[in-house]
Structure 1
Amino acid sequence: MAADPHASQFMTMLLKMMNPKRTIEITAIDPVRSWYEIGLPFIIKAGIEDKIDFIQSQALPILDNLLLVRKEGSFDFAFVDADKQNYGNYHERLMKLVKVGGVMVYDNTLWGGTVAKHDGDVPDEKKEGKALAAEFNRRIAADGRVEICLLPLGDGITICRRIS
């Protein structure tokens, strides 16, 4: 997402408007530290390294632990750009961790535009991602606990506001 200037600009504006106090970013929870280190020079340049607590782990166990040690609705904002097969699992946990009125943003929900194409028009290497993104989109579109907006910025950004 950081590679798309429109998506980055939008996310910056959204966060400034929201002014969240407690945020969680699933990309800051990763079993591979080198992914975090790629972005570290930008984090340092922005002067926010003291605000980021990178956790080297799979995300689901960390979210499960947060559900045990924090009260429901502890976070104002969540951003997810992680393994697509777990987006639904992340969503369910974040629905408990993010407060009513809070926002969850999911990246890559258009999967390079493939979600709108017939399978025959999608390269084999993108078919699994297309299926995962399409299933996640269907799932949250039917979720009455959130209001959603899917933006065609970058690789697709879906914004969910928790309403119940």
Structure 2
Amino acid sequence: MNYVTDDYLNMYLRTVQPKYKGTLGEIQEEATEANVPIIPHETARFLSVLLTLKKPKHILEIGTAVGFSSSLMAQYIPEDGTITTIDRFEVMLKDARVNIERMGLTDTIKILEGDAADILPTLEGPYDVIFMDAAKGQYGNFLPHCIRLLPVGGMLIVDDVLQGGDIAQSRFEVPRRQRTIHKRMRNFLWDISHSDLLESSIIPIGDGVALCVKIKEGQWIKEGEEENDD
């Protein structure tokens, strides 16, 4: 996986910030050793801080993977809180179910199996926090649903938005096969940065995290895509 910060800095951050303890730490370590794509440790610690501040009761996750991030977020909700997580890849979900059971969270975390594009329109919410770590080229399509499902003050956290730093390059400098996702991600970052419904920041940790807070109700209107490809 590519990161936007130097390896020596990542190693330092992962050394100075303690690993998670118990079963959660075991799941994190197992996934890391198996090269399973979970959020890096520095991003996980950032997520922990955000959830400590927000104190959410209901969370929606788009992209379950092996259940590490949903199990992590479950540590920061009340006993009657819930996490709904969406994924369409059974190869991941079979491990996620095992890990969620290992954590004793089967009554807290509800897995919806299928394509988020099909499931999101059926959800009613509201969700205090939405964490999105799924198909990067679909972030823009998922965004209007996320805004609808958040209340004012709700938080949208989006992982892997900087493409190892390539997002700052001209589309002509990235491989041709990556140009479509490059354009879509640029447009997504433009949209969250210019919507009058959101207050947004893009943080260069891991492979980039976008943090958005919904500041008012309103109909999602696409402001116009970024024109500059340079």
TM-score range, shorter chain: 0.7 to 0.9
**Number of the residue aligned with 1:26:** 62
Calculate the aligned-residue CA RMSD, in Å: 2.0
Tell me, in whole angstroms, the C-alpha distance in 2 between the residues paired with 1:39 and 1:13. Answer: 23
Please, which of 127, 130, 136 is the counterpart of residue 84 of structure 1? 136
Deviations 1:67-89, CA, capped at 9 Å, x for gaps: 3xx5xxx2100011122333123
Unmatched 5+ residue regions in structure 2? 1-36, 64-84, 217-230
Q: Specify the code of the residue in structure 1 equivalent to 2:182.
A: K
Q: TM-score, normalised by structure 2?
A: 0.63
Tell me, in whole angstroms, the C-alpha distance in 2 between the residues paired with 1:96 and 1:88. Answer: 14
Please, which of 45, 52, 65 is the counterpart of residue 9 of structure 1? 45
SS at the partner of 1:36? Answer: helix
Relative contact order (C-alpha < 8 Å, sep 6+): which is higher?
1
Asked whether the 8 Å contact 2:155–2:212 carries over to 1, the reply is yes
Tell me, in whole angstroms, the C-alpha distance in 2 between the residues paired with 1:23 and 1:60. Answer: 18
Deviations 1:22-73, CA, capped at 9 Å, x for gaps: 1100113122222233445554454434321111111122221113xx5xxx
Q: TM-score, normalised by structure 1?
A: 0.85
Deviations 1:106-151, CA, capped at 9 Å, x for gaps: 1111112111012343233432222121110011111010000101
Q: Specify the code of the residue in structure 1 equivalent to 2:131.
A: F
**Could you say if the C-alpha distance between residues 65 and 151 of structure 1 is closer, same or farther in structure 2, counting changes exceeding 3 Å?**
same
Asked whether the 8 Å contact 2:140–2:185 carries over to 1, the reply is no
Q: Specify the code of the residue in structure 2 equivalent to 1:6.
A: E
Count of paired positions:
159
Asked whether the 8 Å contact 2:87–2:114 carries over to 1, the reply is yes
**Number of the residue aligned with 1:63:** 120
**Could you say if the C-alpha distance between residues 45 and 13 of structure 1 is closer, same or farther in structure 2, counting changes exceeding 3 Å?**
farther
**Could you say if the C-alpha distance between residues 95 and 117 of structure 1 is closer, same or farther in structure 2, counting changes exceeding 3 Å?**
same
Identity %: 28
